[in-house]
Amino acid sequence: MTLSISKLGDRLGAAAEGVDMNALVPNDAERLRAALADNLVLCVRGQKLEPQAYFDAMGVFGKQLPQPSASANHPVVKDLLILSSEDRDVLGDGQRLVAGAAWHTDDSYRAVPCSLTTLYGVEVPATGGDTQFVNMYAAYDDLPDATKARIGALRVVHSYAPSRQLNKVAKRTAEDMATMPDVIHPLVRTHPVTGRKALYLNPNRMESVLGLERADSDALLDEMAAHATQPKYQYRHKWRQGDIVVWDNRCTMHKANADYPEGSRRYMLRVIVEGTVPV
Ligand code: OGA
Ligand code: MN
């Protein structure tokens, strides 16, 4: 097998073919990491991995982290999270729970958010259930110089359940909430691998911009989110069974789509990779 890498979207996304993640050679591992750094989202096609082998294989991208969750951990490989179309919001209204149905970056409510997320499409619906991504380097680069100067040193409070929250997130117990105090992150962050600047937004978790009046803070966060999620910055991934999609939370946002019909199954296994404090 020969590894080949091709572009997926205009602004981000690449697909790798001709590689078996059960038996990755060092040279291919290096090429996958480079393709991810260059393209922000990397889809490795056609994989067939046992849960533990998938978890282990993701070590090529960094140190895998445990994923504390109310209910969704894999029964055998506990640090794998299961995202399934059968998930229900057990603490809320009992409706189907589609994690991440609004634009977000993973884990920004933590002081040290994960760097990468990887999803393995074990079972994917025939239609629907795409994942959309945006390029947050490009969104930053395109800002007028005056805006870059105005926002360059701003810092944002992120919270698991912010008061400006418009989107439904999984309910957590009071005990869990107590373990997730608010954190502060820069609005513009510098990627530790590429050295490039990216807007760092999470409409699901942002509470306020430090030092701004509430109305100004809300207006700025809304304006930045609207700017960054324009179609020109997007790539929309149509899943094939056996895809492993890896994305970089430090320079992208993503969203799930809950548009597949009841009765059609979507079953993904998720691994997150250790990050560093955003600067
Ligand atoms: C996630 C996520 C999107 C999807 O796993 O963090 O947002 O399409 N997933 O399942
Ligand atoms: Mn997510």
Q: Where are the domains of the chain?
A: 4-273
Ligand whose nearest atom lies closest to the CA of 101: 1
- pLDDT value of position 70: 60
Q: Give CA–CA dist 254/270, Å, rounded.
A: 14
Question: How far is Cα 128 from Cα 51, in angstroms, rounded to an integer?
Answer: 24
Ligand 1 centre distance from Cα of residue 142 (Å):
26
Q: What is the pLDDT of residues 55-81, one digit of tens each?
A: 999 999 999 999 876 668 999 999 999
How far away, in angstroms, is 257 Cα from ligand 1 center? 9
Q: Is 131 in the pocket of ligand 1 (CB under 6 A)?
A: yes
Ligand 1 atom with the shortest distance to the CA of 81: 5
Q: Is 197 helix (H, G, I), strand (E, B) or coil?
A: strand
The pLDDT of residue 201: 98
Q: Is 266 touching ligand 1 by the criterion CB < 6 Å? A: no
Per-residue model confidence (pLDDT) at position 99: 79
Q: How far from 181 is each of 95, 178, 214, CA to CA, in Å?
A: 27, 7, 20
Task: Identify the H or E element spanning 222.
Answer: helix 214-228
Instruction: State the burial class of residue 161 (Cβ atoms within 10 Å of its Cβ: 0-12, 13-18, 19+).
Output: middle
The confidence score (pLDDT) of residue 178 equals 83
Q: How far is the CA of 145 from the centre of ligand 1 (A)?
A: 33
Atom of ligand 1 nearest to the CA of 98: 10
The CATH fold of domain 4-273:
Double-stranded beta-helix (3.60.130)
Name the strand (E) or helix (H) holding 195. Answer: none
> Mean pLDDT score of the chain, rounded to an integer?
94
For strands 234-237 and 131-135, give the pairing.
antiparallel
pLDDT at site 87: 77
Polymer length in residues for the chain: 279
What distance in angstroms lies between residue 105's CA and the mean position of ligand 2's atoms? 6
Please report the pLDDT score of residue 170 as a whole number.
66
pLDDT at 89: 72
Spell out, as residue ranges, where the chain has pLDDT lower than 70. Answer: 69-71, 165-170
Euclidean distance between CA atoms 154 and 230, whole angstroms: 22
Nearest bound ligand to the CA of residue 238: 1
Amino acid residing at 43? C
